[in-house]
Each structure stands twice: as structure tokens, then as C-alpha cells.
Amino acid sequence: MKIKSIMILTLILLTLIGITAIDAETVSFANSTFTIPEGYVINETYSDSVVLSNNTTFIVVYSGEVVSIEKARQNRLELGFRLLDEDNYDADGIEINQQNFHKFNITACIYTFTKNNKNYIITYTIMDNQDIPEKDDNPVTEIFNSLS
């Protein structure tokens, strides 16, 4: 009985150590920091952007000067991208413009917003056979919420 109790306590201790050791990885760039979504790794880091990927998607987080949303949309259309849809919505008091484009069997979801007086564009690319995730399941939401 004593050995059984010691084993159970040891397993509980190991579990607690494993839980407390979990720490989300963060990345810093362009005077900004955000938490890397679970399952993603950093591919490249530049002075104004970070490229993340997992097995099926890429995310680019950019901070810096941006052209107007209308001009950016027009530039993409002129490059042959097809606009699937566009939405403006509020997240924690911040206005976000989301434009979804399609080209070369890839859907690019482009989120443009200003947070903490910094301009951001987050591009999330998925293959044709994938659905755009809902807000709560979207890794962009995690990045947006953790940006500082």
C-alpha cells in the first residue's frame, strides 16, 4: 500500500511539473511582441515582419507603414487575386478589416488593423481544401490578442 501511494504521489508530481513547465513561445519584431500559436514555428524573422508555418499553413505578421485598405485591395486585384469576401469588425475596441483572396489554389486571409498605435497586416494562407477557421479557432486571433 505504501509503494502504491508513493507511485501515485510521484505521478501527480510529474504531472504538475509537466503542466507548469509549459510556456508559450513569444517572438519580438519591430518593437512588437506576440505569442506564437500552438503548432507553429518561426520560419523567418525580419525587422518589420515574421513568417510562421505549420504543416499546412503560413502566417506573415507585418508591422509598419501601410497603404489604405482600398488601395491594397486594388493592388491585389490588379495582380490577379480574386476577392472572395471582405468584412470589417471590432475586436476589443479595435477595427479590423479582413479581406479574403484566392489565387493559385491558395486562399489568403489578410487582416489589417492598428493596435497600440502600430499598423499591422497579418496574412494567413490556406490551401483550397481548407476552410477559413472561425474566430475562436483562428491562430490569427491568438496573435492579435497577444500583440503588444
Residue 2 pLDDT: 56
Residue 101: how many CB atoms within 10 A of its CB?
A: 22
Cell matching residue 140: 490569427
The predicted-structure confidence for 60-97, as pLDDT tens digits, reads as follows 999 999 989 999 999 999 999 999 999 999 888 899 99
Residue with the bigger pLDDT between 134 and 37: it is: 37
What's the mean pLDDT when you consider all of the chain? 84
Q: Which fold has domain 24-146?
A: Protein Transport Mog1p; Chain A (3.40.1000)
pTM for the whole structure: 0.81
E runs forming strands in 46-144: 49-53, 58-63, 82-91, 94-103, 106-115, 118-127
79: left (phi over 0), alpha (psi -120 to 50) or beta: alpha
